[in-house]
Amino acid sequence: MYDLINPATGAVFRSVEMTSAEGVDDAVARAREAFPAWRDLAPADRARLLRRFADLVEAHSEELARIEVENAGHTISNARWEAGNVRDVLTYYSAAPERLFGRQIPVAGGLDLTVAEPLGVVGVIVPWNFPMPIAAWGFAPALAAGNTVVLKPAETTPLTAVRLAEIGLEAGLPEGVLQVVPGFGPEAGARLVEHPDVRKIVFTGSSKVGQAVMAQCAARVKRVTLELGGKSPNIVFADADIEKAAASAPYGVFDNAGQDCCARSRIYVEASAYNEFMDHFLNACRGVVVGDLLDEKTEMGPLISAAQHERVSGFVSRVPAERIAYQGEVPGGAGFWFPPTVVTDVAPGDEIQCEEVFGPVVTVTPFFSEEQLIELANLTRYGLSGSIWSRDLSRALRVSRAVQAGNLSVNSNSSVRYSTPFGGYKQSGLGRELGPDALAAFTETKNIFIAL
């Protein structure tokens, strides 16, 4: 049994049974058995089941949100959004079974067709930062394309995934089509990765584990999608709406207590606007509401665990005190609370500027030219997201094209929409999730030539 801890209080609130490697084997065997019937279900019937699943998620959204508040320390507003995102992703991909088109390609001597075929059993490995959405980004398109899924949630946050699988069954998904196996990464997760009957792994987590997963997959030429870390820039040109950019910047990095791979944790401000930006920005930081997770007005909660608190504290303790321009307040007592923290006067090679902190910590750095900015923005090994604030759209587009990252936003800090592709450049990942093309990551293209 594994004790689950409420991040806001530090208290154990429940224990869960962890799945052994043999337990994973059993789940994979059931998924394999369930596959042919699920693959062969009429497309409209598969679509209908996914829509019913979405409807039941909607009906249970408050329950799911409250589970996440207790298990992951999310604010109730965020957790409601996350349950809604699961509903939306299921609804979006419920349209896919009837639109999984192949092509007819002109060839000599016959007729040529392509068919998109499901892979079989797909393993989805989920981290603790957004347990519900990241699970759905894997299982919804995988199921829509006709695969069966075995999903391993993070050790610390299995509860919403377990509940989602139950809701799926209630909606009418056949047994074995979507299974959740709570378990330890190096045991249950590793077994999914090495299991010969698992045809594809969707992994979201740290770059270190992601690299190991990719190496394991290579041994079997197993398909793999990776969503890893980030150290995303938030770029503010002097001609931007400075007040708006500054007001939104805290939420671009402190949301989910900074435990977001898209967190805009490096702010770059054109030097001539730096002081004006900082005035508005620090003001906005003071306004971030940290506290009671069940209060709808709360904007930031605790970190996930004591270990994460220690990690984030370590990063901040290594920053010279005079460079900490602001540190907010958090509830006292137990729980893994860490205050919103702003660091200035950093050099490009500083640890705090290069490494993913995964906590509510942001650096602010002035820049003097577009050329210098692009160099700074591309310095890290990551390339997931970024924002560009400017009223000059030509420049905003030019810089969007120059920043090596998968998800750029202009005059906005939002990265994720279920209908648009999401994923990283460089060491932030491999492949894309969400959007119209995600099905391609869960199918093989078969080419059939018919001689006439």
Stretch that binds ligand ADP, among 32-40, 47-55, 149-157, 442-450 (CB under 6 A): 149-157
Under 8 Å between Cβ of 110 and 104: no
Q: DSSP secondary structure string, 195-231? A: -TTEEEEEEES-HHHHHHHHHHHHHTT-EEEEE----
Q: Tell me: does residue 144 bind ligand ADP (CB under 6 A).
A: no
Q: Tell me: does residue 189 bind ligand ADP (CB under 6 A).
A: yes
Residue placing its CB nearer to ligand ADP in the complex, 2 or 425 = 2
For residue 109, is it left (φ>0), alpha (ψ between -120 and 50) or beta?
A: left
Q: Tell me: does residue 118 bind ligand ADP (CB under 6 A).
A: no
**Minimum separation from the CB atom of position 39 to ligand ADP (A):** 26
Stretch that binds ligand ADP, among 30-38, 121-129, 230-238, 405-413 (CB under 6 A): 121-129
Quick one: tokens of 306?
Answer: 């004591």
**Minimum separation from the CB atom of position 146 to ligand ADP (A):** 25
Query: What are 170's strand-pairing partners?
Result: none
**Minimum separation from the CB atom of position 209 to ligand ADP (A):** 3
Quick one: tokens of 137?
Answer: 């980004």
Q: Are strands 324-327 and 341-344 parallel, antiparallel or unpaired?
A: antiparallel
Quick one: tokens of 362?
Answer: 């942001």
Quick one: tokens of 67?
Answer: 């589970």
Active site residue 187: no
Among 126, 140, 303, 342, binds ligand ADP (CB under 6 A): 126
Query: What are 2's strand-pairing partners?
Result: 16
For residue 368, the Cα-to-chain-centroid distance in whole angstroms is: 33
Q: DSSP secondary structure string, 69-83? A: HHHH---HHHHHHHH
**Minimum separation from the CB atom of position 191 to ligand ADP (A):** 8
Under 8 Å between Cβ of 175 and 169: yes
**Distance separating alpha carbons of residues 49 and 177, to the nearest angstrom:** 12
**Distance separating alpha carbons of residues 142 and 136, to the nearest angstrom:** 9
Q: Which of 70, 82, 217, 261 is catalytic?
A: 261
Q: Which positions from 195 to 224 touch ligand ADP by CB under 6 A, shown as an x/- string?
A: ----------xx--x--xx-----------
Phi then psi for residue 156, to 5 deg, are -80, -20
Q: Which of 70, 155, 194, 227 is catalytic?
A: 227
Active site residue 227: yes
Q: Measured at CB, which residue is nearest to ligand ADP?
A: 185
Under 8 Å between Cβ of 78 and 257: no
Q: Tell me: does residue 4 bind ligand ADP (CB under 6 A).
A: no
Among 36, 110, 186, 436, binds ligand ADP (CB under 6 A): 186
Query: Among all chains, which residue has been given the structure tokens 């209080």?
Result: 9
Among 190, 249, 388, 399, binds ligand ADP (CB under 6 A): 190
Kindly provide the b/e burial profile for residues 280-316, where b requires at least 16 CB atoms within 10 angstroms of the residue's own CB: bbbebbeebebbebeeeebbbbbbbbeebbeebeebb
**Minimum separation from the CB atom of position 362 to ligand ADP (A):** 20
Residue placing its CB nearer to ligand ADP in the complex, 8 or 125 = 125
Q: Coil, helix or strand for 33?
A: helix
Q: Tell me: does residue 155 bind ligand ADP (CB under 6 A).
A: yes
**Minimum separation from the CB atom of position 373 to ligand ADP (A):** 30
Among 65, 100, 125, 284, binds ligand ADP (CB under 6 A): 125
**Minimum separation from the CB atom of position 21 to ligand ADP (A):** 11
The footprint of ligand ADP (CB under 6 A) covers: 125-128, 152, 154-155, 185-186, 189-190, 193, 205-206, 209, 212-213
Query: Would you please indicate which residues are annotated as catalytic (active-site) residues?
Result: 227, 261
